[in-house]
Amino acid sequence: MSHPYKKRLRRSMMFLNCQKPGLIKDPYIYKPDSIMLDLEDAVAENQKDAARYSLYHALQEIDYRGVERVVRINGLDTPHWKEDIRVCVAGGADTIRIAKTESAQDVHVVEEHVLAAEREFGRPEGSTLLMSALESCKGVLNALEICKSSDRLIGIALSGGDYTKDLQTTITGTGVELQGARQQMIIAARAAGVQCWDTVFTNLDAMDVFEEEVKMIKMMGFDGKSLVNPRQIAIVHKIFTPTQKEIIFAEKVVKEIDEKKALGIGVFTVDGKMIDIAFYDGAKRTIDLAKASGVYEGDL
Amino acid sequence: MEVKKAAMAGTLESSDAQVTVEPGNGKIELSIESSVIHQFGKQIKATILETLNRLDVTDAKVTVVDKGALDCTLKARVECAVYRSNDITENLPWGGVIK
């Protein structure tokens, strides 16, 4: 049976450095959908052990008030990931973010150790979800097999910094260097029925550019974005939450299609727009997103 | 657990605590410096001693410089310093004596 939270709302996934107690003690006040407690790049090499103790106690003792607790573990090419998995599972992390995923095999290796840890620490088998960060050309090309690799996998996230390094370019601010990866990843994720998140935007002095980027990735089909600063959360939520106008139109579409179907009518107009069954799933998705975002007051 | 050599964990940043453990002279010698010692001194001391007790550390000199750390941070820093003094970083007893 699929995990009940596999498809929960994940518009905003905010990174927090586990090395810094001041950052991980109360991030729920900013109301992100998910926090990503980082054991990887943000943590200095000689502080990997210290970050794990902080992580364990934070997971066990801090009430994150419904915010999903994702932990980014160190890559499979490091000596750290096995102990990272043990502490995540022992602490009761909701989801593990696998850094630098390049193949389905990488997910299988992590899954095997997660299962062993669930048995060791008495957690229900299958309770720990996984997500994969794609950070290389190989990873992006293997997006579909990664998306289909495990029942635990909730989705894939682009990691633009490492990816553009592998592509032998840089983050230019135009988005042109990320076009191929974004397109490939969202198509793969949808084909496999999992979620997909865009890379971080690190220039906090260019909030207008950030907003344009969020609008673009929403149009492309992404579920949300990895974030580095609480100031980015409200912008993402505003853009990813359906407007009242969109909700009302979606309601009409769903109701009209249901009614017209009973009358044997396949195509008709709603507010001057031609509507047929092809619009049904999209309208339902808008309603579902509105419900999940807490802005739906209708009866569907 | 024995404190085999001097080891330190944590920083002097706000909300953190820096904990140093050193081999002792047959008992626990605890020294605490904190900006909130008047309000939370007793609680900080109790948390440190409970953590040492759980780790079965009975012979150590322990120095804590607290910068407003939560209990969970104090525990994390004490545990880290003690395990570092034993050079242990893997197969830790999460949920056992670390809890």
Q: Report the CATH fold assignment for B7-85.
A: Ribosomal Protein S5; domain 2 (3.30.230)
What is the per-residue pLDDT across A264-290, written as a single tens digit (0 to 9) for each?
999 999 999 999 999 998 999 899 889
User: In whole angstroms, what is the distance from residue A106 CA to residue A263 CA?
Assistant: 52
* Amino acid type, A204: L
List chain A residues with CB under 8 Å of B72.
54, 57-58, 60-62
> Tell me, what's the pLDDT at A7?
87
B53: distance to nearest CA of chain A, Å? 17
Residue B20: strand pairing partners: B8, B63
**Optimal mutation site among A25, A47, A56, A87, interface B, most CBs of chain B within 10 A:** A56
Q: What is the ipTM of this complex?
A: 0.97
What is the per-residue pLDDT across B39-76, written as a single tens digit (0 to 9) for each?
999 999 999 999 999 999 999 999 999 999 999 999 99
Which residues 5-64 of A have a C-beta within 8 angstroms of B? Answer: 20-22, 25, 48-50, 52-54, 56-58, 60-62
**Do B16 and A22 make contact, defined as CB atoms within 8 angstroms?**
yes
- Interface residue B67 vs chain A (CB under 8 A): no
Residue A38: strand pairing partners: A17, A72
Predicted TM-score of the model (pTM): 0.94
What is the per-residue pLDDT across A54-99, written as a single tens digit (0 to 9) for each?
999 999 999 999 999 999 999 999 999 999 999 999 999 999 999 9
Q: Which residue has the tokens 């975002």?
A: A293
- Interface residue B72 vs chain A (CB under 8 A): yes
> Tell me, what's the pLDDT at A205?
95
Ranges of each domain in chain B:
7-85
What is the per-residue pLDDT across A127-166, written as a single tens digit (0 to 9) for each?
999 999 999 999 999 999 999 999 999 999 999 999 999 9
| A228 pLDDT above the threshold of 80 | yes
Ranges of each domain in chain A:
12-239, 244-292
Among A22, A50, A90, select the one facing B94 at the smallest CB separation: A90
Environment class of B31 (CB within 10 Å of its CB; exposed 0-12, middle 13-18, buried 19+): exposed
In CATH, the number for domain A12-239 is: 3.20.20.60
What is the per-residue pLDDT across A194-214, written as a single tens digit (0 to 9) for each?
999 999 999 999 999 999 999
